[in-house]
């Protein structure tokens, strides 16, 4: 967003006299979300969360979210009323509609920010932790069941497209998410060093935290080299079509993955309806094998989990490369160094 646009957002703040807070319109709310991360995906996700909250408000109050907001504001204790609303919304999401923990957390977080910035209602963080409880029995994408070496090899080989095979192999080495992988460009790789490194730019990392360096093994390199030989540094390595949005291509890949694993007999599901061997199982595989070679903290750090990132960034490049070299034989699915040990 340009500087002038930011100034327009700031100067268009509306003072709510009743709540004594600076109130944003929804348009300004979405503008601020974009300004923070320069991400259209973040705006899209926030709109989906608020649209879902509208559906809940229609169910619970027979009103839209914008019609429900004044009711909460007029309560004797707006913060307490809004907290009760979020507790009920969370139950509606997880029990009635079988949403995952990750989805419920994101939706609740977005609605809480919307209540604050568009309604002037602040909810105490400690109250949120105490009362908005996410079921530990539900499994989200980050808790996907790890694949075994044999399972991953079978699934990868079942994909006909060389580009998709290479992308899945890339994911098992880097613990990358599907969308992150689609946004990798040829110029992000350093093919001169061994092990070959790849830079995950800040703009493509989930949460837009900090850029980080990951690595790929030799069996993955063999599949990637044919893909990049005629590409320019700015070209995407794993995209099949630039005619559709990368989020659409991600959704297509996930659907294709689900279809393939079900054909192979991996049909077991969690209570929320998600396949246990979902595409995030590749990420779980990478982190599980990395932990075997190093330790739990380094595995989570390599996987980019926020609470472990400080430890990751304190390590030098050579230390990170050495960590990966220890894990490389555990990550291999086409050799038998430690196959299934």
User: Which tens digit of pLDDT belongs to each residue from 200-222?
Assistant: 998 887 655 678 899 999 999 99
Q: Is the pLDDT of residue 260 over 90?
A: yes
Q: Give the chain's mean pLDDT.
A: 84
The reported pLDDT for the residue numbered 108 is 92
What CATH number does domain 142-331 carry, 2.30.30.40, 1.10.443.10, 3.40.50.970, 1.20.1280.50?
1.10.443.10
Q: Are 115 and 71 in contact, with CB atoms under 8 Å apart?
A: no
The reported pLDDT for the residue numbered 200 is 92
The reported pLDDT for the residue numbered 308 is 62
Q: Is the pLDDT of residue 58 over 80?
A: yes
Q: Are 249 and 202 in contact, with CB atoms under 8 Å apart?
A: no
Phi-psi bin for 62: left (phi > 0), alpha (psi -120 to 50), beta? left
The reported pLDDT for the residue numbered 138 is 40
The label of the residue with tokens 């699934």 reads 155
- Tell me what the mean pLDDT of segment 138-158 comes to: 76
* Rg of the chain (C-alpha set): 22
Look at 104 and 259; give whichever has higher pLDDT. 259
- Tell me what the mean pLDDT of segment 66-91 comes to: 88
Query: In the chain, pLDDT over 70 holds for what percent of residues?
Result: 85
SS3 of the chain = CCHHHHHHHHHCCEEECCCCEEECCHHHHHHHHHHHHCCHHHHHHHHHHHHHHHHHHHHHHCCCHHHHHHHHHCCCCHHHHHHHHHHHHHHHHHHHCCCCHHHHHHHHHHHHHHHHHHHCCCCCHHHHHHHCCCCCCCCCHHHCCCCCHHHHHHHHHHCCCHHHHHHHHHHHHHCCCHHHHHCCEHHHEECCCCCCEEEECCCCCHHHCCCEEEECCHHHHHHHHHHHCCCCCCCECCCCCCCCCHHHHHHHHHHHHHHHHHHCCCCCECCCCCECCCCHHHHHHHHHHHHHHCCHHHHHHHCCCHHHHHHHHHCCHHHHHHHHHHHHHHHCCCCCCCCCC
The reported pLDDT for the residue numbered 327 is 95
Render pLDDT for 267-306 as a digit per residue (tens, 0 to 9): 998 776 788 899 999 999 999 999 999 998 888 889 877 6
- Tell me what the mean pLDDT of segment 321-336 comes to: 91
What's the gap between Cα 138 and its chain centre?
A: 17
The reported pLDDT for the residue numbered 95 is 79
Render pLDDT for 69-80 as a digit per residue (tens, 0 to 9): 998 888 878 888
Q: Is the pLDDT of residue 171 over 70?
A: yes
Which of 18-22, 187-191, 262-266 has the weakest average pLDDT?
18-22
Residue 14 bridge partners (DSSP):
23
The reported pLDDT for the residue numbered 163 is 96
Residues 61, 63: Cα–Cα separation, whole Å: 5
Q: Is the pLDDT of residue 322 over 90?
A: yes
Residue 198: phi, psi to the nearest 5?
-140, 130
Q: Is the pLDDT of residue 164 over 80?
A: yes
The reported pLDDT for the residue numbered 244 is 86
Render pLDDT for 7-22 as a digit per residue (tens, 0 to 9): 344 433 333 333 435 7
The reported pLDDT for the residue numbered 214 is 95
Residue span(s) of the chain under CATH 1.10.443.10 come to 142-331
Cβ neighbours of 246 (radius 10 Å)? 19
The reported pLDDT for the residue numbered 142 is 42
- Tell me what the mean pLDDT of segment 189-195 comes to: 96
């Amino acid at each position: 967003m340009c500087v002038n646009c930011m100034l327009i957002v700031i100067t268009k703040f509306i003072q709510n006299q009743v709540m004594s807070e600076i109130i944003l319109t929804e348009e300004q709310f979405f503008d601020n979300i974009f300004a923070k991360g320069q991400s259209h995906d973040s705006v899209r996700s926030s709109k989906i969360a608020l649209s879902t909250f509208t559906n809940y408000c229609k169910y619970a109050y027979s009103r839209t979210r914008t019609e429900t907001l004044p009711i909460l504001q007029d309560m004797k204790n707006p913060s307490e009323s809004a907290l009760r609303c979020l507790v009920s919304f969370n139950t509606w999401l997880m029990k009635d509609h079988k949403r995952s923990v990750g989805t419920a957390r994101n939706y609740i977080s977005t609605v809480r920010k919307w209540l604050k910035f568009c309604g002037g209602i602040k909810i105490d963080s400690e109250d949120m932790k105490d009362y908005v409880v996410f079921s530990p029995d539900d499994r989200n994408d980050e808790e996907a069941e790890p694949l075994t070496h044999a399972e991953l090899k079978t699934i990868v080989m079942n994909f006909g497209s060389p580009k998709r095979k290479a992308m899945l192999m890339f994911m098992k080495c880097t613990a990358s998410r599907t969308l992150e992988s689609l946004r990798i460009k040829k110029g992000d790789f350093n093919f001169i060093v061994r092990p070959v490194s790849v830079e995950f730019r800040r703009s493509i990392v989930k949460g837009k935290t900090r850029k980080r360096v990951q690595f790929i093994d030799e069996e993955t390199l063999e599949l990637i080299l044919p893909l990049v030989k005629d590409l320019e540094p700015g070209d995407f390595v794993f995209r099949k079509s630039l005619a559709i949005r990368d989020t659409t291509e991600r959704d297509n890949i996930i659907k294709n993955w689900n279809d393939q694993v079900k054909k192979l007999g991996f049909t077991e599901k969690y209570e929320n309806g998600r396949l246990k061997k979902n595409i995030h199982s590749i990420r779980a595989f990478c982190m599980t094998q990395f932990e075997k070679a190093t330790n739990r903290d380094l595995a989570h750090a390599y996987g980019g989990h926020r609470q472990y990132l400080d430890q990751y960034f304190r390590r030098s490049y050579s230390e990170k490369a050495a960590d990966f070299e220890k894990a490389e034989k555990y990550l291999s699915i086409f050799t038998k160094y430690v196959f299934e040990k």
